Amino acid sequence: MLSEQNLKKLDGLKKYYQTSQALVLPALWMVQEEHGSISEEAMKYVSQLLHVPYSHVLGVVTFYTMFHAKPIGKHHIEVCTNVSCMLRGSGRLVEHLEKRLGIKMGETSKDKKWTLSETECMGSCGTAPMIAIGEEYYENLTPEQVDALLAKLERK
């Protein structure tokens, strides 16, 4: 389930924490990096690897919004709609993205290429409105810039 390299990295982290349970988040991050999401099988694997109950791992996965228990689209587009972004036009971005991609907030396109979600404040209040695609932030956006971004991603 996890690559040799990640297992070694995980092992190296052990000395910094008093319990192996503390490695649950780092391990889940590694699983998600390698597999895109965290399946039931993966949760069982992490539970055995770190000697923590499966229920605990499941609880953690479902608690944190960045862990995905279900597969998501190839490009995960998140739009911040919190106050600072809202005041600077995030509503227009939401409308535009929904129209362009033909999906609503919280949905994944049929071809599994796009997932669109609403997100809470991402810390881009001074460069609002913003969207995040995967780990990248795109800030001070207009609908036209969103189009250019989507076109670039479509070619990938």
Partner 1 sequence: MEKHILPDIPNLHKIDVYEAHGGYGALRKALQMKPEEVTDEVKKSGLRGRGGACFPTGLKWTFMPKSREAGSQTTGQTAKKKYLCVNGDESEPGTFKDRQIFEFNPHLLIEGTLIAAYAMGVSISYIYVRGEYAKWITMIEKALQDAYAKGYVGQKILGSDFSTEVLVHKGAGAYICGEESALMNSIEGGRGYPRVRPPFPAQFGLWGCPTTINNVETISNVPLIVKNGWEWYSRIGAAKHPGPILVGVSGHVNKPGVYEMPTGVPLLEIIHKYAGGVPGNKAIKAVIPGGSSTMILRGEQLEGVCMDAESLKAAGSSVGTAGLIVMDEETDLIQVLSRIAQFYYHESCGQCTPCREGTVWLWKVLKRFENGEGTMEDIDLLMDVANNIEGNTICALGDAAAWPVQSMVRRFRDEFEKRVKVPDSTKAEAIAV
Measured from the CB atom, the residue of 67 and 100 that comes closer to partner 1 is: 67
Indicate the DSSP class of residue 108: B
Q: Which of residues 5-24 bind partner 1 (CB under 8 A)?
A: 16-19, 21-24
Per CB under 8 A, the list member of 4, 111, 136, 144 interacting with partner 1 is 136
Task: State in angstroms the smallest separation of the CB of 24 from partner 1.
Answer: 4
Question: How far apart are CB 63 and partner 1 at their closest, in Å?
Answer: 4
- 124 is a contact residue toward partner 1 (CB under 8 A): yes
* Integer Cα distance of 132 and 79 in angstroms: 7
**At 116, which helix (H) or strand (E)?**
strand 114-119
Burial class (CB in 10 A: 0-12, 13-18, 19+), 28: buried
Q: Does 81 bind partner 1 (CB under 8 A)?
A: yes
DSSP string, 7-25: HHHHHHHGGGSSSGGGGHH
Of 57-76, binders to partner 1 (CB under 8 A) are 59-60, 63-67
- What b-and-e string marks burial along 104-132, b requiring 16 or more CB atoms within 10 Å of the CB? eeeebeeeeebbbbebeebebbebbbbbb
Give min distance, CB of 38 to partner 1, in A. 11
State the residues that interact with partner 1 by CB under 8 A: 16-19, 21-26, 28-29, 50, 52, 56, 59-60, 63-67, 81-84, 86-88, 120-128, 132, 135-137
